[in-house]
A and B are shown apart, each in its own frame.
Chain A
Amino acid sequence: DADVTQTPRNRITKTGKRIMLECSQTKGHDRMYWYRQDPGLGLRLIYYSFDVKDINKGEISDGYSVSRQAQAKFSLSLESAIPNQTALYFCATSAYSGGIQYFGAGTRLSVL
């Protein structure tokens, strides 16, 4: 079983819909991250969390929100999806700041 699991793997939704992407991990790490990947733009950090009560905005948090339900679970929500949020989304974990990040398989999201 994967250490970092993302669901769903693929999602197509319509403009204005609320959507949640989920991430769970079995690595026992405190730190979790949400990134989006767009061609030519690399990885951009959306939100990160260092424990259940420590949630921080990344460089592109507008239009997104997160919830850290437990050490192992970190969800990303798009409150009202728009087409330019079409991207590949990755969740990652690490044991400490500056440490190796372990990635999930990604969620490919299309907003029509």
Chain B
Amino acid sequence: AQSVSQHNHHVILSEAASLELGCNYSYGGTVNLFWYVQYPGQHLQLLLKYFSGDPLVKGIKGFEAEFIKSKFSFNLRKPSVQWSDTAEYFCAVNAGNNRKLIWGLGTSLAVNP
């Protein structure tokens, strides 16, 4: 069965630290890849996506992600986090002809000022 794995469940960083959140999926064909963010008390919103083309994609608020097909990975990065990045981050994948998104369990990020 298709699955999405987010390796880090809870991450605590200080402001200005660099961030990398891991996401791996299990599917060998064409994929659409997403990172969503959920700020405290809010709904999920799209951070960035990859459908095709340049495997390095840039999203809102200085986030970027790199699609590495050979590693089935789509890791999220930010060079310097801010307190306002405190949120839960979800990786999601649509694989092949699947009618649904497959979601990771999420990573809770806390940034200390």
A residues adjacent to B (C-beta < 8 A):
33, 40-45, 48, 50, 56, 58, 90, 92, 97-106
Contacts and interface: CB of A to CB of B under 8 A. Distances in A.
A18 B33 CA distance: 37
Given A50-B99, A103-B45, A42 B94 contact: no
12 contacts: A33-B100, A41-B105, A42-B90, A43-B44, A43-B103, A45-B100, A48-B99, A50-B99, A97-B99, A98-B32, A100-B34, A101-B44
Interface of B: 9, 32, 34, 42-46, 49, 90, 94, 97-101, 103-106
A45 B98 CA distance: 14
A48 B42 contact: no
Given A103-B44, A104-B43, A106-B43, A42 B103 contact: yes
Contact of A58 (B9, B34, B100): B100
A42 B9 CA distance: 11
Interface hub of A58, A97, A105 (most chain B Cβ within 10 A)? A97
A100 B46 CA distance: 8
B100 A48 contact: yes
B99 A103 contact: no
Contacts of A99: 32, 94
Interface hub of B9, B32, B43, B98 (most chain A Cβ within 10 A)? B43
Given A42-B105, A45-B100, A98 B43 contact: no
A38 B46 CA distance: 20
Contacts of A100: 34, 46, 49
